[in-house]
Amino acid sequence: MDPLRDKVFRGLWIGVLASNVGTWMQTVGASWRVVHEPDAATYVSLVQTATMLPVLLLALPSGTLADTFDRRRLLLGVQVGLFGVAATLTALTAADRMPPALLLVFTFLLGVGQALTLPTWQAVIPEVVPRAELASASALGAVNTNLARAAGPAVAGLLVAHAGVTVVFGLNALSFVVFAVALMRWRRPPQEGSSHAERFGPALRAGGRYVRYSPVVRRILLRVALFVLPGSIVWGLLPLVADRELDMGSSGYGILLAALGAGAILGALLMPRIRAQVSPNRLLVLSGIVYGGALVVVALVPVALVVVPVLVLAGLAWMAQVSRMNASLQLFLPNWVRARGFAVYQVVFAGGQALGAFCWGQVAEAAGLRGAFLAAATLMLAGTATVVRLPLHEQAGDRSPAIYWPEPHLMLEPHLDDGPVLVTTTYRVRPEHRDDFVAAMQAVRRSRQRTGATRWGLFRDGEQADEFVEVYLVPTWEEHLRQHDGRMTGSDEREEEKALALADGPPAVTHLLPAQSPD
């Protein structure tokens, strides 16, 4: 694919692949380390939970850091820290001083590193790949993840069987070195933008506000949750399927995960053709039915020769759903909030996996593996049926930055921290355009709220029947200046132009600042 022709992207992609392979090897090793412990189902599911829970807790702060600070330095520092944690884990395991509880602690710490890495890497991709190639780069990201899913578990299964878990943990530590070397070879150019970096607290709130007022993003997150919650049973309980239902041992567990990964890679290769022939919502339905059917087969037909090819289909369906959501989000989010938007996506994705893995572990303890897989299949098919009433929104418009507001010229000189700032915009609208104007201003409302407004209202002047006054509140003067300087997109500009076309003449804008109380 075209992005791999770029030397920088290719080097970073290979580094991420090495890290992903190591992470999957680590997960397999940790899961197999506890598979023969008492209450194995709980421990195995807790390994998945400990891996994903940090993403749930730290993804949004991590995305805020990635949108605020130098992303290369952030990624490099995280890889150094991960190497230290993984090397310590390896040494303690070699010394036979790694009880299950301590293993879960180290797994959690490695998950913290992944929570810092994931949104930052997603935000780096548009820096090294032209926008025209972002869809291909997103597909390559999915290929990367699923190559790791195919290779990591298979290699780890063989190493666990013939060399032991310690070797697996040690190779995971070395994988972080590979990514660190790739980052050291990348010379990130100076970044354009405001001379004032966003502060952590306001930036964190701005990211959450953007997602809250973006119907497209919220619907993507809902569809992800409805798929991942039941789908996570495979990743959480597959070690027990391999050991108890299929009697395949550790190498067999690697084969089952490799089947899932191989199906996902096949799905990545077929995605361009699938996207051309199948609508997004129909793709969600088809992949949900295939995945739900695969869960039924795993539950009712405990035969390796049947389960392995069925897991290939499950991997293809997983890939179709996840890559579609990922690519849609990558293309929709504007650059200024991309890492934070992907961080929320990771919260939903990893939270669904962590919660699902834990819950399915408890269901398996109470009702057995077959009962758990049948319950998950039922939930998967029920969630798929909701596509009829809760489909993905159509995505259209220009997501590139648009600076079209005039610079504010004030007699006062507010400090960047001054606020809140009340912005009023007065429009004159003829009677025949009033209803259409009010409807058009709803899109403007969402734009204001996504980019900084905490409150918004549209009012009519009681003394002037043809005057409408838009009022919105922004926390600080700095936050309002960021609306002027890069937070708006071409789509925001088009929506505002639709409303202005229904008004007579340019609107009158005022900026109201807090009055200083006399001492």
Amino acid 519: pLDDT: 45
Residue 164: closest CA among 32, 53, 294:
32
Amino acid 378: pLDDT: 96
- pTM for the full model? 0.81
Q: How far is CA 259 from the centre of its chain?
A: 24
Stretch among 149-153, 323-327, 457-461 having the lowest mean pLDDT: 149-153
* Contact (CB, 8 A) for 83 and 176: yes
- Tell me 397's DSSP state: S
Residue 33: closest CA among 8, 20, 19, 50:
50
Share of the chain above pLDDT 70, in %: 95
Examine the pLDDT at 50 and tell me if it is beyond 60. Answer: yes
Examine the pLDDT at 425 and tell me if it is beyond 60. Answer: yes
Amino acid 150: pLDDT: 66
d(CA 481, CA 408): 9
Stretch among 59-73, 146-160, 290-304, 459-473 having the lowest mean pLDDT: 146-160
Band of pLDDT at residue 135, cut at 50, 70 and 90: low
Burial 286-303, CB ≥16 within 10 A → b, else e: bbbebbbbbbbbbbeebe
Instruction: Encode pLDDT of 327-353 as tens digits.
Output: 788 778 887 888 899 889 888 887 888
Amino acid 44: pLDDT: 79
Work out the average pLDDT over 340-367: 86
Amino acid 192: pLDDT: 54
Stretch among 146-155, 176-185, 233-242, 375-384 having the lowest mean pLDDT: 146-155
**Average pLDDT of the chain to the nearest whole number:** 86
Cα separation values, 298 from 238, 257, 316, 368, 428, Å: 10, 13, 16, 13, 65
Listed in order, strand segments (DSSP E) in 324-477 are 421-428, 455-460, 467-474
The helix (H) or strand (E) run that includes residue 388 is: none
Band of pLDDT at residue 194, cut at 50, 70 and 90: low
Stretch among 188-202, 446-460, 490-504 having the lowest mean pLDDT: 188-202
Residue 159: closest CA among 177, 172, 144, 178:
172
Instruction: Encode pLDDT of 452-494 as tens digits.
Output: 999 999 999 888 889 999 999 999 999 999 999 888 988 999 9
d(CA 441, CA 426): 12
Any long-range contacts for 3-6 (C-beta under 8 Å, 24+ apart)?
A: 3/129, 3/133, 3/136, 3/137, 3/140, 4/140, 6/128, 6/129
